[in-house]
Structure formats: structure tokens, C-alpha cells
Structure 1
Amino acid sequence: MDKKKRIRKYRQPLTYPLRLHLLYYGKIHGQAKLIHLFMAYLCSCIITGQMKNKPETLNPNVLNYISWLELPKYAYVFQHESHSNHFHRLLGKQSYLVAQPLPAVKQDLLTAKNLLHAHYFAYPYGQYNDNTINILKEIGIRMAFTTKVGRVYPGSPEYELNRNAVYPYTTMRQFMQIVRISSAK
């Protein structure tokens, strides 16, 4: 079963344990090997407008971004999905996704979707409305993640799914708790 179908199947009644997590994640580097060893499969939602052609020098004190060159390197662990193109911004306290005209929102979302061949989306700043959801459905996005922390269970609303964040300062112990590695069999 391909990776996208595995994520989609997560919304169906489960008959087997499935380790699948959406982590809001910037730079991947060495963690990919550890994750692969524990058979956890993760989505990395990417702000395509902030990506560079070449890898950045890793700085653990800031959120680094994956480069276009690195995408294939980490595809064995991370499914690369969308977090917007240039609309990961605020206008006052409102996300561009809810503050900008709908045609501009649609164009930004469609650009990011097409660049990554994405089917899933993480709302910048967790802000969205019915218009945002309708645009996501219209352009072929099948699921979207909020900033609400937690797991996704069968029956969770497809366009209001929980997610977990991994930051540069997240400890390995915290990371293992997020993906429940200690309970892996």
C-alpha cells in the first residue's frame, strides 16, 4: 500500500497497529535514521516559498528549512506535504489564509500543492475558516491539520485533524513520547 493510502486508511476503522504521525518539522537531518529504525512514518508539511535550492547549515537554535535537494533524500521516512507557499504570514493577528482575497488564497495553496504533489495540508498558525476548507477540497487536498496538539483517531474530521510539533529544542525523550516509540512492538 502506498504512503498516501496508509495515511488515508488511518481514518478507517483500524484492524492493525499503525504508527503514523504528522509532525510540524523544519530540518530533518539525523533524526530520519532514528525514525526509520522505529518504523514510524511522518509527514513534514513544508512552506515551499521559504525553501532554498541547496541545504542550509544546520543551526539547532533556529527552525531550519529543508531544501529542494534534500526532499528525495528523506522521502523514505517523511511524506512531504503542504504548509503553504508564501502565505505563512500574518496580517495583524490574522493568517493570510483568512485575511487575503479568496483567489489569492487559492493560488497560493494550489502552487504549494503542485510543487510538492501534496494531498495534505497544515494550516499556518492553525487559522482557517469554511472558505479555506472549501478551497482545499476544490484543489484536491484530502486532509488538513490544525495546530491542536494530539493524535488523530478514526472519525476525526478530515479538515480539522490534530498535529504534534517537533522544534529544534525538542528533546529526544519528548520526541519518543510524541511518536510513542517506547510502546513500539
Structure 2
Amino acid sequence: MKRISYIVAAICMALLAIVVAAARWIPQHFEKKIEATDDRTFFCRKVHGRLEPAGKLYKNQPFYAIQYNKNWYVTEIGGKPYYIYQQRVKELNRSFTLSPLASPKAIQTVRPKENIWVYQAPRFGQPIGVLYKNTPVQVIATHGDWYQIMFAGTTAYIHKKQVAGLATEVPIIVYHHILKEKENRKYHNPTVVSYEEFSKQMKLLHDDGYHTITLHDLEDFVKGKKDLPAKSIMIHFDDGLKTNYVYAYPVLKKYGLHAAAFLITSRNSRPLKPFNPDDYQFLNWKEIAKMGDVFEFASHTHALHNRGKDGIGNLVKVPAATVKTDLLKSRQLLHGTTYFTYPFGQYKPETIGILKQTGFTLAFTTKIGTVKPGDDPYQLKRHGITPDMTLDEFKKVIQVVE
């Protein structure tokens, strides 16, 4: 199956204004039996206020829809509205008055691993349509190796092996410093996120059913040893700052979320002092011990998180023997952790070799993206969360589908 053409996406966008006039889908009392006029009859879903193609109906297959207006029909897949451009379908019979159909109760939500065919019966045969990768689909029943779904107003089937109530990729979101807006009088840079926005973001993760995973979970996922549930996500905190304890820890605990903090371990033995928002303070080992029910801890080097005027960090500048000694010291202090983040995102092939020699099994970069099975475990991508990021932009990062 070919990739969706840009033309299809353009059609969806050009006619978006017609559809978004309604804040939500309100079924009308008119249902029509329709038929796709060709195999390019795409249906679109609304994602972050935009329409994007989510699948297609095949020619000469009857479906049910509601006429939204003169340009669009609305059909149903798993209790959600999907929009079909009227020029791609034809009506098979007259409209008739009908109360809105009650969708069967969903037993779980799955997502296609790739673009997949949809069948009229629980067996391989002539497909009636296509669902695109990662389109959320609610399952209403199981029949052996098949899931039963609602597809354009009619029951249909998809094969279990082709979908995942499982994650096909995992976003990792990264924070550093958390301060209340009224306290942040000194630090105005991309690494300081307000407590208020952080709280909203964590509430969203909780309310939208996200599952926060551990570093070991992620390692097994990358290496193909473990499946993770859909909506899996990982939360990172780089540097090990005191505000991780003062502000992040209580919020994460409130919402039952897990996180990993990457420590510069030479800075965690500094004397324990009262919190001062105007001072760039690091976690103390006593605070670290108290956070163990929510956080796990990994390495951001022992004492190589520095760089000179040339912008080059010590991790990639000092001799290999010094790097090796530093990493082993960090592992020792962190009870043998095998997980690492590169200071300033800087590394070179030799760095990866030293990580392997010193027992590290995963390493994280500042490259933007998600983590998928088969990714290079020493060059994993993440998303940095910045202070100017809106909640809608945050939803895009974590792949919320509305």
C-alpha cells in the first residue's frame, strides 16, 4: 500500500474550516447507505484541530454515514467521527429518519503497526478498506485471532498480529529545572519550565491514561525483548537539580507517575541547604534517597559535565582513560546503573566504545524523536520540554490523538 499522497492531505486541509465549525460530533437523525466510488476514498480524522487521512474505503463496498453538510459525510469508527469527502462516494438508497446508532462498548483500544487491511469477516479475503498506521481503533469483541471493530457504520475485522494494544514507539520527555513563575527572577533559558506548566503537563499524562515506564522496560523494548502498552512514555530529568525534589517529586507522586533522573554524581555530596530559587542547587544524597518511590537514578557523568569557551564538553575532550575512570565512579555511586545521558548531547564513536567498555547499555542524546524497537541503544532520541511550549504543543510531542 502506497503512502498517502500530499494531494489527499491538501484536500482535507482545504476543507477543514467546514468541519471544525462544530466543537464536537453531534449525530443527525439521518443515516445514509453509501458506497465508495473508487479505491481512493479516504476518510480523515481530526488530530490537534487538523484533519489528517486515517484510512480508506474500497470501491463497491456499502457503508453507513451521516451527511454532515453538502461537502462531507461523517462515518463512525470505534465511536469516533471520521470525515469523508462527498465526491468520493454515492448514496445507495434514500435517507431515512433514525435515532443515532449506539456504538457497542469497547473492550480495548489498539493501533495498527503499519497500514492494514480491514475485512468483512474474521478471515483473510477481499478487504473492504484500510486503516493507516497508529490510527486508534476501539475493539468491541474478539474472535480467535481477530478483533471485531466498527468500520464506517458496519462491523468489520482486523487481525490481532497486525495491531498493537501495544506501543510501536515511545516518546521520552526531558526536563531540567522546575521553578514557580513568581520565583523565577534569574533563570530565563530553555531548561527552566514553570511549576504551573509542569503540573498541567503531568495532569494531562495522568488524565489521558499514559503509562510511565522504567529504564529497564525501555531497554527491553529497544532490544525487542518486551512489549509495552499503548501510551507508554518516559520522563527524564537531566542534571539532578534540587527542584526535582522540591517541585517535580510531589507532582509525579500525586499522579502516580515514574521518572528517571540523570545525576552528575560529584555534585550530590554538597552540603544539604534550604531551597533557594535564586541558587542553582543540586540534589543531596539524602533527598535522592527520599525520592526512590517515584524516581530511579542514572548517570550524567561523575565530574565531566563541563565545557570551555569553545563549547566542547569534557566528555569528548579529555583522555579516554579519564572518561573511563569517571564513568566507573558514577556507576559505583549509582548502584551499578547501566544508563547514561550525554552532557550537552555531545559524543563521538570513541565515547560509545567507552560506554560499552564500562558496562553501560543505553545512552540518550539531545536528538529529537521517539524510541522504537531496533534503535541504536547508544543514540536514543528524546524531546526537550521548553518553557514556551503550549499544552497543545506538548500534546503533539506525546502524540495525543483527539
Give me the TM-score of the superposition, normalised by structure 2.
0.40
Q: List runs of 5+ in structure 1 lacking aligned partners.
A: none
Q: Which residues in structure 2 correspond to 1:12-161 (within 5 Å)?
A: 12=224, 14-17=227-230, 18-24=232-238, 26-27=241-242, 28=244, 29-61=246-278, 63-91=280-308, 92-117=310-335, 118-161=337-380
Q: What is the root-mean-square deviation of aligned Cα atoms in Å?
A: 3.1
Q: In 1, Cα distance between the equivalents of 2:284 and 2:396?
A: 25
Q: In 2, Cα distance between the equivalents of 1:62 and 1:7?
A: 34
How many residues end up aligned between the 2 structures?
180
**Between Structure 1 and Structure 2, whose CA radius of gyration is higher?**
2
| Distance change in 2, residues 1:128/1:20 (3 Å) | same
| Distance change in 2, residues 1:101/1:52 (3 Å) | same
Structure having greater relative contact order (Cα 8 Å, sep ≥ 6): 1
1:68-123, Cα deviation, whole Å (9 max, x unpaired): 11111111111110001111111432211111111011111111111112211111
Contact 1:152/1:161 (8 A) holds in 2:
yes
| Distance change in 2, residues 1:40/1:9 (3 Å) | farther
Contact 1:41/1:78 (8 A) holds in 2:
yes
Counterpart code for 1:7: L
Q: List runs of 5+ in structure 2 lacking aligned partners.
A: 1-212
Contact 2:304/2:315 (8 A) holds in 1:
yes
1:133-153, Cα deviation, whole Å (9 max, x unpaired): 111111111111112244323
Counterpart code for 1:97: L
Report whether the alignment pairs 1:10 with 2:221: yes
Q: Quote the offset at 1:56 in angstroms.
A: 3.5
Q: In 2, Cα distance between the equivalents of 1:61 and 1:40?
A: 28
Identity of aligned residues (%): 28
| Distance change in 2, residues 1:177/1:58 (3 Å) | farther
Give me the TM-score of the superposition, normalised by structure 1.
0.80
Aligned-partner SS, 2:285? coil
Q: Quote the offset at 1:53 in angstroms.
A: 4.6
